[in-house]
Amino acid sequence: MWLRISAIVMRFFFLHRRSVARVMEIFFWPVMNLLVWGFVTSYLKELAVPKTVLFLIGAVILWDVLYRSQQGITLAITEEFWVKNIINIFISPISIGEFLAAICVVGLIKSVVTTIVLGFLAFFFYSFNLLSAGPGLVLFLGNLLLFGWAVGLFTMALIFRYGRAAEALIWGVPFLIQPISAVFYPVSVLPAWLQKIAYLLPSTYVFEGMRQVLATGVVDVSILGISFGLNLVYLFLGSLYFSWMLCKVREMGYLSRLHLE
């Protein structure tokens, strides 16, 4: 099993090694987001806005982890549709579980590399030390990766079912979650009814915890534990939904249609 998973990981490595566009995509948008929000933060500091505006930089970096992990699943599989290779994957000895495991590993590598680059740039341009979160940083990143994978499974299931008409969900779903996750502001600013929905998302606890640790230096392990528990639920439901939708697609013959689109 691990040999097949590592083979898929190596396949993506060689694809990126031979494609400047793929490599640039890993860094371009995250760096642009950091620069824009970072300079906005610098401007707000000049206006004597409280130091809490620095939370924006941390939020930008952590949000990119969730976004990249979701994109790691959705774009990797969607690209197989684009190059008409999806049938080859399903008739190969590689199971769909092994393929998903491989692209999760690739997404993890991309997220770690991007986070390191953004952390250096944030320190160089804005004197923002991401490591000030301490060991809790690993827990923050881990929870966001898990939630990104769960969102990616839900998104990919819809694309399998509805084809290219649903491909806009690859980029749309994360930004549907972003306002409710209280990425750039505390949950308290949301309407009361929306706060209840926000606390159903694992990402909300991560961003609330990030602001707390930057303000006080203390990591609230309890809220990260809640986030992890919710992630397990969403990953389980996402896996079930993806498997169910994949079975339906095979039964209805949609897989060959998607291959030919």
pTM summary value: 0.83
One-character DSSP codes across 78-136: HHHHHTT-HHHHHHSS--HHHHHHHHHHHHHHHHHHHHHHHHHHHHHHH---GGGGTTH
Q: What is residue 43's predicted lDDT score, i.e. its pLDDT?
A: 59
Q: What is residue 49's predicted lDDT score, i.e. its pLDDT?
A: 58
Q: What is residue 228's predicted lDDT score, i.e. its pLDDT?
A: 94
> pLDDT tens digit string along 72-101?
888 887 877 777 777 777 777 777 778 888
Compute the distance between CA of residue 77 and CA of residue 99 in angstroms, rounded to an integer: 9
Q: What is residue 170's predicted lDDT score, i.e. its pLDDT?
A: 78
Spell out, as residue ranges, where the chain has pLDDT lower than 50.
Answer: 259-260
Tell me which residue range forms the domain holding 237: 2-260
Compute the distance between CA of residue 100 and CA of residue 241 in angstroms, rounded to an integer: 14
Q: What is residue 255's predicted lDDT score, i.e. its pLDDT?
A: 63
| Look-up of token digits 């930089």 | 57
- Count of domains for the chain: 1
